[in-house]
Amino acid sequence: MASLSQNSAPVRVFIAGGSYAGLSTALNLLDLVSGASPRMSGEAYTHVPNFEKIDVEITIADERDGFYHLIGSPLALADSKYTKKAWVKFQDIPSLQQPNIKVVIGSVTTVDCASKTVTTLDTVTKIATEHTYDFFVAASGLRRVWPVVPQSLSRKQYLVEAAEHIHAVSNAQHGVVVVGGGAVGIEMAAELKVVHPRINVTLVHSHEKLLSSEALSDECKDTTLELLRESGVTVLMNHRLSKSTRVETMDGSIKYELEFLNGHKMAASEVILAVSQPASTTAYMPATALDENNLVKINPNLTIVEGTPNAEYHFCAGDAARWSGIKRCGGAMHGGHYVAHNIHQTILRDRVPGGHQVKYSELTEFPAVIGLAVGKKAVASSPDAGTVSGEDVMQAYFRNDLGFDICWEYMQLGGMKETVVDA
């Protein structure tokens, strides 16, 4: 029996987003269509005899020119050495240098699910291009504001943007105030203090507990506060910022007067707002696929819910999907792995003569779990394991680079490792 690659036209897969979920989808699918097991699976994949290899053309579209390690932002915006590591241009990622993977530097503007066409707008030229596909994956995540993440779309401009910020915070004569005690604010304050120990860093939060918007235990929140203070950050709870006013100084230094609703006043050279809500990027999807927050409504197998044409050929993974749990890069990579598996199963269902009994991978409900880097230690919490913290937790969850190497190795962005088969 001939293989699919000999008898069928290439399967066209379009992925919107080149971050954790998008890259995970592309690379796990690449494994599957080459006859291997997906790189993120701990189990061998059972291929259909004579249909191990399938011709697939994968297009990844992202408005950035590279993979940016989002969870490394607190360190990338504090340490100039790490800044260079956190952003890798797509052309410099070995695993993407395959003849059947194409990267488009541009944003997705519209998706026509009925005709299976998607339009992209080139980041530089602003020229619109239409692409046809067999499968579409929404993996463009959420849009986060400065200074939570850099706003640059090119690595070159990002390095300038980050350098300017690092110069400002490292020369903050009157100290730095981080507003917001969520995960981002906590990590930003802690990394700033570790990298620039001589700078006074204060975190202010409007509630009586840190991580107040997350369904985490009080033990987790209290431990996080202890680690933050242990790292040298001053923490002010129940402080809601009322206004921030630039004032003149005798020596020409930058200075802001901050006033809080409780009447407290203080000064700072830099004020970092880490309180804004991220916004979905999936306005390109039809309204039938979105909820009231523009998150994509998905089934457990990550296809979009019924009501949109060709729903079973449209998937969503990562932060853009409406699913339970705290948004995490681990969940995004996990979702991308499942999308790749399910696309492969659907291809076999549609193209293997006589049919194929599909076995979809399905998400379960995600509990509220978190891993948080706080200075030189980390805290992790889950309903099953409870709360743990320490330098060993930092090594397990983040190593010394806020998880860059862990993610790089897990997705095998540097190339496939040798497969080791246990005896």
The predicted pLDDT at position 415 comes to 84
In this prediction, residue 7 carries a pLDDT of: 53
Which amino acid makes up residue 241? L
Mean pLDDT of the 174-193 span: 97
Domain layout of the chain by residue ranges: 11-144+278-366, 155-273
The reply to whether 155-273 shares the fold of 11-144+278-366 is yes
pLDDT of residue 207: 97
CA dist 196 and 253 (Å) reads 18
Query: What pLDDT, on a 0 to 100 scale, did the predictor assign at position 148?
Result: 86
Region 337-346: mean pLDDT is 98
DSSP characters over 228-283? HHHTT-EEE-S--EEEEEE---TT----EEEEETTS-EEEESEEEE--PPPEE-GG
* Buried-exposed string 315-349: b where 16+ CB fall within 10 A, e elsewhere: bbbbbbbbbeebbbbbbbbbbbbbbbbbbbbbbbe
pTM of the predicted model, to two decimals?
A: 0.94
Q: What's the mean pLDDT in 385-413?
A: 97
> In whole angstroms, what is the distance from residue 364 CA to residue 244 CA?
44
- What rounded mean pLDDT belongs to the chain? 94
pLDDT of residue 1: 38
131-173 pLDDT, tens per residue? 999 999 999 999 999 988 999 999 999 999 999 999 999 999 9
Residue 33 CA neighbour count, 13 Å, CB half: 25
Neighbours of 311 (CB within 10 A): 18
pLDDT classification of 275: cutoffs 50, 70, 90: confident
Query: Under 8 Å CB-to-CB from 65, ≥6 apart: which residues?
Result: 89, 90, 105, 123, 153, 154, 155
Share of the chain above pLDDT 90, in %: 91
pLDDT score for 359? 96
For the structural domain made of 11-144+278-366, what CATH number should be given? 3.50.50.60
Classify domain 155-273 by CATH number: 3.50.50.60
Taking 70 as the threshold, does the pLDDT of residue 304 lie above it? Answer: yes
**What is the structure's pLDDT at 133?**
98
Asked if residue 267 has pLDDT above 90, the reply is yes
Q: What are the pLDDT digits (tens) for 28-70? A: 999 999 999 999 998 999 999 989 999 999 999 999 999 999 9
* β strands within 63-181, DSSP E: 66-68, 87-89, 101-112, 117-122, 128-132, 135-138, 142-143, 176-179
Name the pLDDT band for 419 (thresholds 50, 70, 90): very low
